[in-house]
Structure 1
Amino acid sequence: MDCSVKTQLFLQIEKRKWVIMVGLVALTHLFCQSLMLPYGNALLSLFPSGKSKNLLMANPSHNDSSVKTLIDDNHTIAGVLDMDNDQSLFVRGVKSTKTYNVHVNAEDDKGSMEKKEKENMDSDVVGNGMDDDVDFVDDDTLDDVDVDLEDGFTVENSTQLGKASSGVVLESKTSEIQEKNVTDGSVILPTLVVSSDKPSLIGSVVGEKPESETSISDGSSMHISLSESKDVSVFRNNGSSVPNKPAKKKMRCDMPPKTVTPINEMERLLVRHRARSRAMRPRWSSERDQEILAAKRRIESAPFLKNDRELHAPLFRNISMFKRSYELMERVLKIYVYKEGEKPIFHQPILKGLYASEGWFMKLMEQRNNRFVVKDPRKAHLFYMPFSSRMLEYTLYVRNSHNRTNLRQHLKDYSEKIAAKYRFWNRTGGADHFLVACHDWAPYETRHHMEHCIKALCNADVTMGFKIGRDVSLPETYVRSARNPLRDLGGKPPSQRYTLAFYAGSLHGYLRPILLKYWKDKEPDMKILGQMPPGVPSKMNYIDQMKSSKYCICPKGYEVNSPRIVEAIFYECVPVIISDNFVPPFFEVFNWDAFSVIIAEKEIPNLREILVSIPEKKYLNMQLNVRKVQKHFLWHANPIKYDLFHMTLHSIWYNRVFQIKSRY
């Protein structure tokens, strides 16, 4: 072989050695960076700069598949599937750092309970409290990762590559893991392993929080808490807080209802439920049942009554039946009030503020001179459970806990105690028992264990379990003075009401922003405002505006009910109710078309056109009817005939009369 050929071969060999050497150096450098840097950022050069990688790849059919978590300059986790080697370069790099502590907390309640706990009533008279079984929806995309797990998948902590069994089942169809940032460096979640054979979280047992330890670059350990509400909170074990970006949430009360029951459909439901009794058949008959059935027959055969000196006929669906029913209630009805339960949740009424309705009813029902109350439960037609839903929330709810289970459990224990001590609950399953509750959480708190009871609720929402014809829509009254609940009563005559429509208040819920969007500062005769300026004068200004407006707009807030309805009647202003699925107070006896305007939420853009189209004569009739119906919505320290106490009690009696079975 000549010299030139040997030289070429030698150069080629040396070139290949050089290429191999350079490659080895590059791989060694990459490997060292993976070990030395806190989070394996050496691999970020594999991705284009400035782009987030929100990827999760898994093969459900491959039991050994794993997902390797990567993080880019924007601190966004990406998933890279390695089907063959769980001990890949990146996994070893992550394992070389210290570990995390990942807590998955499956809460019973998904709601942000504290959102409406304390609300200022100076200018915005709106119910506070939270939705029952609140459904959350993420309102924005976090700066960090959202890893969506399909139904049936398992989240496994692979940081330690443990194979411990798990018992925490992901109840929601989609679970998201959201990564947060800390000030001293970026944070990544442990390597995730996704498989489809069992829906669980490795390293945990039912009712416990799985713990597999890791730490941040400064050596302090941390844990990330995830819940069904997809909220993530980060804490250091040394007690210091880790800054995190709170996720914006949308609750059910922040979104329009999925289904709408118009007022005419509610009318049909009432007639249908009146036609067929739906109450549980008693386990045994009683003399009290026979007395109620006799009263029912007399009510149904009431003589026709066109006018009455005490009652205004246009206000009622059937004044003849109401008059006869009310008279029979005064003559026949006997109620036993349970003495069980300790203060402040039981037997301690709140007489001032937003939840005054339940408090005033409790106070007046437990007065010594109450003509309806009997000491012998065997003589009772109905049984009253005197608890305050407001005091239940105030006493037992742990703020920021997002959990109302203990509230419901407290009432469950109470009802079980009654059932164990008395035989009356068991006879009807609670169908002849009633409760009066005004807090927004009451539908949730009384669900299941008090489901057969007659519920007088301010939150009368047909989509939240309110039963038309059995339950009672309790008026939500904001009482400013417990000593004088009738303070500031009345308003200006129609000729001095120059404002067409008035509303002022905070923008709670989804509906009020829509109202302001269309009508704030749009028409001179419509005063549609946000929250009025703070200060003492604003209180009287708010009242004066209602006293001098033709129509008072009553949009729903967080829930369907609003104290503005009673306020409008209080100040002799025609209420305009804008709240889909809301059952107006005393729906079973009152004809709300006679003294109010009910508008579907979708008609807000046409609000002014609807009000202007109402003839002046009809408005004057409605305003007169508002003044006539006013006495039925007033609290008195000593109850008087047809007042709010007696109207509430009558509706409870009336619904029981038409629910009881005719045969046994």
Structure 2
Amino acid sequence: MEVAGPSFLLLILLLLAPLSVHSTPPPYLSPAIFAADYDDMLESFRIFVYGARRTFKFKSEAESLFLASLLGSPFVTENPSEAHLFFVPFDGDLSERSVARVVRDIRADLPYWNRTLGADHFYASCDGIGFGSDRNLLELKKNSVQLSCFPGSGGRFVPHKDVALLPAGVAPAGEGEPRGLSSNETIEHLAYARLGAIKDPGLVHRLGGDPGLLIESEPSDRETFERRLAMSEFCLFDYGGDVSWIGDAMRFGCVPVVITDRPIQDLPLIDVLRWQEMAVFVGSGGGAEGVKRALRGMARERVERMRGSCVAASRHFAWNRPPQPLDAFHMVVYQLWLRRHTIRYARRDWS
């Protein structure tokens, strides 16, 4: 089967081309490796979906978008013998006991689970599932890749195995192209925040008292919202608050500032992007003064470089219908490709 997609050379040019008015290096951990792997994924990756003709109800829009995009993509195969990974979909409101029954039925009806005890399987669960005592649930949690919403529920995301779904709130490509400031525009605010993005009312009050910071409940319209983002150096997010607009912030060059009291291990595209060059992470212990001190202490050259990196990476945060190369759907699939199970068993070993 031939999978349509950008050629390797075109992809390299796409990744290395500057996307903002500021000349910045590509925002990837390794641009060349990413380009080669992505091209290989488009040509080779195959996924078998259990119960593909069923309708599933998920808790988040990102989960629904992922499954709809997957089922319409060339990655899906009806021949499980050629699949690299197997997708186990189940309704988002199922109890863990019911999820265990789903796995039990799969292992009883078909041989693929038992080859690796689920290590070449993945599933979507916005809140994540816990470590239960049932063998089927334990193997699913321990061995299979979990697609979780960002930010993940405490203790239910396994770093280096699980994948954080990109938020579904980002405007699709074409609804305001990625851009930095034009030559006749100037920064109006040091930082911008929407109320739902910061959970601590006291912190909101203290930050809101600074004339350089703009915090509001909701912009009056989309155009006003985009202007807020483009005219602000930083956008404030509380880890655990509303992060649905983080991709929009990056698209307009507003550097995400994530307020957190612990290391974050479930960042979207953590295997691909150099987040330290695109976001600022500030401890919550310093309060409002700590946040403002961290932002005002950054060198102008670094801020401009980060803004450019944000704009360059923002294309990967858009859920397009239908999917487009390098968008959120393809980047989630790419992370699954990186986690594909590499051990292939001869038929005689499991038949």
TM-score by length of 1: 0.44
Q: Is the aligned partner of 1:619 residue 2:307? A: no
Aligned partners of 2:305 and 2:61: how far apart in 1? 30
State the Cα distance separating 1:518 from its structure 2 match. 3.0
Query: Which residue identity does 1:614 align to in structure 2?
Result: M
Q: Deviations over 1:112-150 (max 9, x none)?
A: xxxxxxxxxxxxxxxxxxxxxxxxxxxxxxxxxxxxxxx
Matches within 5 A, 1:134-145: none
Q: Which residue of 2 aligns with 1:496?
A: 186
- Structure with the higher helix share, 1 or 2: 2
Aligned partners of 1:311 and 1:552: how far apart in 2? 25
Q: Which residue of 2 aligns with 1:309?
A: 13
Query: Which residue identity does 2:335 align to in structure 1?
Result: S
Q: Is the aligned partner of 1:358 residue 2:63? A: yes
Q: Deviations over 1:414-437 (max 9, x none)?
A: 222211111111111111011234
The one of 411, 417, 424 aligned to 2:99: 411
Larger Rg: 1
Q: Which residue of 2 aligns with 1:75?
A: none
Aligned partners of 1:520 and 1:469: how far apart in 2? 37
Q: How many residues align?
A: 319
Q: Which residue of 2 aligns with 1:299?
A: none
Q: Which residue of 2 aligns with 1:474?
A: 165
Matches within 5 A, 1:523-534: 523-529=210-216, 531-532=217-218
Aligned partners of 1:331 and 1:588: how far apart in 2? 21
TM-score by length of 2: 0.79
Q: Which residue of 2 aligns with 1:565?
A: 246
Matches within 5 A, 1:151-300: none
Q: Deviations over 1:331-350 (max 9, x none)?
A: 222111112684343xxx78
Q: Which residue of 2 aligns with 1:343?
A: 55
Q: Deviations over 1:541-584 (max 9, x none)?
A: 444422321111011236xx722322312333111112334321
Query: Which residue identity does 2:213 align to in structure 1?
Result: M
Aligned partners of 2:153 and 2:338: how far apart in 1? 19
Q: Is the 8 A contact 2:197 2:237 kept in 1?
A: no
Query: RMSD over aligned Cα, in angstroms?
Result: 3.2
Q: Is the aligned partner of 1:610 residue 2:294? A: yes
State the Cα distance separating 1:378 from its structure 2 match. 1.1
State the Cα distance separating 1:413 from its structure 2 match. 2.0
SS at match of 1:599: strand
Q: Is the aligned partner of 1:641 residue 2:344? A: no
CA separation of 1:543 and 1:413: change in aligned 2, threshold 3 A: farther
Q: Is the 8 A contact 2:128 2:152 kept in 1?
A: no
Q: Which residue of 2 aligns with 1:99?
A: none
Q: Is the 8 A contact 1:411 1:445 kept in 2?
A: no
Where do 5+ consecutive residues of structure 2 fail to align? 1-8, 17-24
Q: Deviations over 1:275-325 (max 9, x none)?
A: xxxxxxxxxxxxxxxxxxxxxxxxxxxxxx9x9412145311122322222
Q: Is the aligned partner of 1:631 residue 2:335? A: no
Aligned partners of 1:470 and 1:388: how far apart in 2? 22
Query: Which residue identity does 2:68 align to in structure 1?
Result: K
Q: Is the aligned partner of 1:432 residue 2:120? A: yes
Aligned partners of 1:445 and 1:500: how far apart in 2? 43
CA separation of 1:465 and 1:606: change in aligned 2, threshold 3 A: same
State the Cα distance separating 1:640 from its structure 2 match. 2.4
SS at match of 1:551: strand
CA separation of 1:486 and 1:386: change in aligned 2, threshold 3 A: farther
Q: Which residue of 1 aligns with 2:230?
A: 547
Q: Is the 8 A contact 1:565 1:575 kept in 2?
A: yes
State the Cα distance separating 1:381 from its structure 2 match. 0.8
Where do 5+ consecutive residues of structure 1 fail to align? 1-304, 393-405
Q: Which residue of 2 aligns with 1:199?
A: none
Query: Structure 1 residues 322-331 or 375-384, which shifts more?
Result: 322-331
Amino-acid identity (%): 22
